[in-house]
Amino acid sequence: MPENIRVNVHHVTRVEGHGNIVVDVRDGTLEKCELQIVETPRFFEAMLRGRPYQQASHITSRICGICAVGHATASLRATERALQVELSEQTKRLRRLAFHGEMLDSHILHVYMLVAPDFLGVGSVIPLATSHPDIVKRALRMKKFSGDLCQAIVGRHTHPIAMTVGGFTHFPTVQELEALRERAQELLADVDATVELFGALPWPTFERETEYVALVQPDDYGFIDGRIASSDGYELDVDDYRKVTNERLVPHSTAKHTAFNRDSYMVGALARFNLKHQHLSPRAKAAASHLGLKAPCYRPYLNSAAQVVEIVHCVDDAIRVLDMLIERGVEREAPAPVTLAPHARGVGACDVPRGILFHEYQIGEDGLIEEANCIIPTGQNLANIDRDMRALVPTILTEPEDQIALKLEMLVRAYDPCISCSTHFLNVEFTGK
């Protein structure tokens, strides 16, 4: 085993946001192994103070260009729960469709453009367009559908326009929904081809059991609202989210970490799969078994495979929801009314592509936001990524340094870290010994 290894991947590429990986082995001992976040802090929570509640979802969608619908939805749920707003079934269905659009867009971007190049031996999706044009064209077709789904419901994916407190400011026509329904049906061939492609990839076999946390709903593989569940057997109301996230500054790494029952936990597609795979659509269940996913799965690299399973599920569920909306027709409902009260608090929770996202607001009787807190999925995964890297590195130390770096980068990418999500990261200067 080599005595001294220093791996420093500066600005991990093909992740959304800025992060560095640092591995430091001295005299055969792993001294340091961590993912550092070098993203600039943006202070969204501080900026929300004093803003009218109607602006919150439009401001916070700007936290992340990829999870824009997710942030807007969590923000609206926080406001709506604070202001006692009851949503109509139609509003819930339309939001569900917009959410599926984003889930698909994000997962397709991640598995095809950010993960696949690692397995196909190219630096990025751009040479892939020449070496594997069919794959890239398929990915772009699927992304186009996701974008068009969001566009029909909320105007655009980044940043959604028509979602508002209590409902929508714009409604798709039944004809538009029928056209989407038809395209979703046609897309199933691409969905099957996606499962084939990723089913054939040699996923690294590294495994480490950890605690998995996701939102759960009765009889549903849903993404909006629900209760917080853990693979260690706990279930909590979303209002108690702080008991789960326990955000804290940790001395060894400078990013804020979270911990529930153990010293780290994992959120995202694999956590959701582990906690509620029984509610996947039949086609998604078949995809999971084709991809070699069986719950409980402890292989973090397979988070990307779980995303493929969710791609299948979201297309299936989008078809189901489109059918319901087409059958009932779309009414131009006015947004549901709000009730203002002094210091009203509400928590909004959604399982966005990378895991659970929490927004919590306190809104004054004047409608101005008094307090705000947002906890993003990548922040919750950071401690777990560090622990995975610490477990992985000793098993690959004999490999060349570029291989170690690649495997670590692939591990970090598997978590699909969205570290542009501004909130709660420290700016880090590396001070090696």
Q: Which of positions 34-63 make contact with other proteins (CB under 8 A)?
A: 40-43, 45-47, 49-52, 55, 58-59, 62-63
Selected from 17, 166, 226, 377, the binder of other proteins by CB under 8 A is 17
- Mode of pairing for the β-strands spanning 355-363 and 344-352: antiparallel
Q: Treating both helix axes as pointing N-terminal to C-terminal, what angle do 303-328 and 269-276 enclose, rounded to 10 degrees?
A: 70
Told to check if 426 binds other proteins by CB under 8 A, we report: yes
Q: Which of residues 371-390 bind other proteins (CB under 8 A)?
A: 371-374
Mark residues 353-372: x for contact with other proteins by CB under 8 A, - for none.
Answer: ---------x-----x-xxx
- Supply φ then ψ for residue 253, to 5 degrees: -125, 155
CA distance 362 to 164: 18
13 binds other proteins (CB under 8 A): yes
Q: Out of 33, 66, 266, 309, which residue is the one contacting other proteins (CB under 8 A)?
A: 66
Rounded to a whole number of angstroms, the minimum distance from the CB of residue 53 to other proteins is: 11
Q: Is 206 left (phi over 0), alpha (psi -120 to 50) or beta?
A: beta
Write out the binding residues for other proteins, residues 250-279 only, by CB under 8 A.
Answer: 250-251, 254, 256
Query: What is the identity of the amino acid at 174?
Result: V
- Report, in Å, the least distance between residue 155 CB and other proteins: 4
125 near other proteins (CB under 8 A): yes
Whole-angstrom distance, CA of residue 21 vs CA of residue 19: 7
The phi, psi pair for 5, rounded to 5°, reads -135, 135
Site for other proteins, residues 293 to 312, rule: CB under 8 A:
none
Q: Which of 31, 158, 176, 190 binds other proteins (CB under 8 A)?
A: 158
State how far the Cα of 101 lies from the Cα of 158, in Å rounded to an integer.
11
**Angle formed by the axes of helices 89-108 and 303-328, nearest 10°:** 150
Site string for other proteins, 164-193 (x = CB under 8 A): x---xxx-----------------------
Q: Rule CB under 8 A: is residue 113 a binding residue for other proteins? A: yes
List alpha helices for 200-337, DSSP H.
241-245, 269-276, 282-290, 303-328
3-state SS, residue 232: coil
Contact between 16 and other proteins (CB under 8 A)?
yes
Q: Which two tokens stand for residue 315?
A: 């297309």
The single residue among 8, 20, 31, 155 that binds other proteins, judged by CB under 8 A, is 155
**Which region, judged by CB under 8 A, interacts with other proteins, from 125-133, 222-230, 264-272, 278-286?**
125-133
